[in-house]
Amino acid sequence: MRLRFLGTGTSFGVPVIGCPCEVCHSEDLRDRRTRHGALVESGDRRLLVDTPPELRLQLVSAGVGSVDAVWYTHQHADHVHGVDDLRVFSMTSGQPVPAWGSRECVEEIRTRFGYVFDQQGAGPGGVERPEGELHILQPFQETEIAGFPIIPLPVPHGPVESWGFRTGDLGYITDAKELPERVRQELAGVRVLVLNALWFTAEHPTHFNVEEAVEVAGEIGAERTYLTHISHLASHRELQRRLPPRVFPAYDGLVVEI
């Protein structure tokens, strides 16, 4: 199994529009971060994590031509508003793309994108539309998705929950502010852990900062922890320099074998 980071940025992405900061003008390509997305892959099976606004560009860059299902972490715009780019997959397969999320997430997505998930017949004049089929997750109840046995892990993210997961030796958490005890128990023994980390030092009400993510990484004790959902207030080089052993900054295009 492998994990492919498609996008490792926050809702603003990096560079931020009009920002004069050093990171936004960095020549290090690892500082160019599109909105959050990832792929869990094994053989020819692919589980897509979120549909960010840059999804088409991310998949083309990664040379990905198919996905088997989508895992939605939560319903915020930077995680779902690339849903139209699923069109090519439903068009080529002739089947709706199955998508999974919490009840709250599913209900919001169904309302916001009814033309995708509540279709009534074909589009006008043969127009191709994305077609998806929504499924509701149950917390901590193992479900097989795209051939992967997955345990859903809800974590606090301000007024909503973000749903990470564990599959095999991989634990994946983004947009979290804390890890409840039950989630920590489910993550025990993972070899690779993914955590969100906005920036250094300053606290955020709904996200880990780098120091908080590092503390959680130490408590979980994975062999390797990768930080994602990183803002323009932390460069890749600075993260490399300041992170402890076994904690690494992810970047767009990074592939991790598990």
Domain boundaries, the chain: 2-257
What's the pLDDT band for 106 if we cut at 50, 70, 90?
A: very high
Of 36, 43, 42, the residue nearest 71 (C-alpha): 36
Residue-level pLDDT at 113: 93
CA quadruple 248, 139, 105, 81: dihedral positive or negative? positive
Yes or no: domain 2-257 corresponds to CATH 3.60.15.10: yes
Q: Is the pLDDT of residue 227 over 70?
A: yes
Residue with tokens 């080529």: 92
Mean pLDDT, to the nearest integer, of 159-181?
A: 98
Residue with tokens 């767009």: 252
Q: Is the pLDDT of residue 124 over 60?
A: no
Average pLDDT in the chain: 95
- Say if CB 24 and CB 230 are below 8 A apart: no
Of 256, 3, 6, 46, the residue nearest 147 (C-alpha): 46
Of 138, 17, 13, 24, the residue nearest 77 (C-alpha): 13
Q: How far is Cα 203 from Cα 209, in angstroms, rounded to an integer?
A: 6
Q: Is the pLDDT of residue 79 over 70?
A: yes
Give the residue with greater pLDDT, 67 vs 122.
67
Mean pLDDT, to the nearest integer, of 150-176?
A: 98
Q: How far is Cα 1 from Cα 155, in angstroms, rounded to an integer?
A: 24
Q: How far is Cα 105 from Cα 205, in angstroms, rounded to an integer?
A: 20
Q: What are phi and psi of 29, to 5 degrees?
A: -60, -20
Residue-level pLDDT at 119: 62
DSSP three-state, residue 172 = strand
Per-residue pLDDT tens digits for 12-63: 999 999 999 999 999 999 999 999 999 999 999 999 999 999 999 999 999 9
Residue-level pLDDT at 255: 98
Give the residue with greater pLDDT, 218 vs 125.
218
Residue-level pLDDT at 127: 52
What's the pLDDT band for 120 if we cut at 50, 70, 90?
A: low
Q: Is the pLDDT of residue 118 over 90?
A: no
Residue-level pLDDT at 129: 73
Of 47, 53, 63, 44, the residue nearest 12 (C-alpha): 53
Q: Is the pLDDT of residue 125 over 70?
A: no
Whole-number percent of the chain with pLDDT over 90? 92
Give the residue with greater pLDDT, 1 vs 119.
1
Residue-level pLDDT at 130: 81
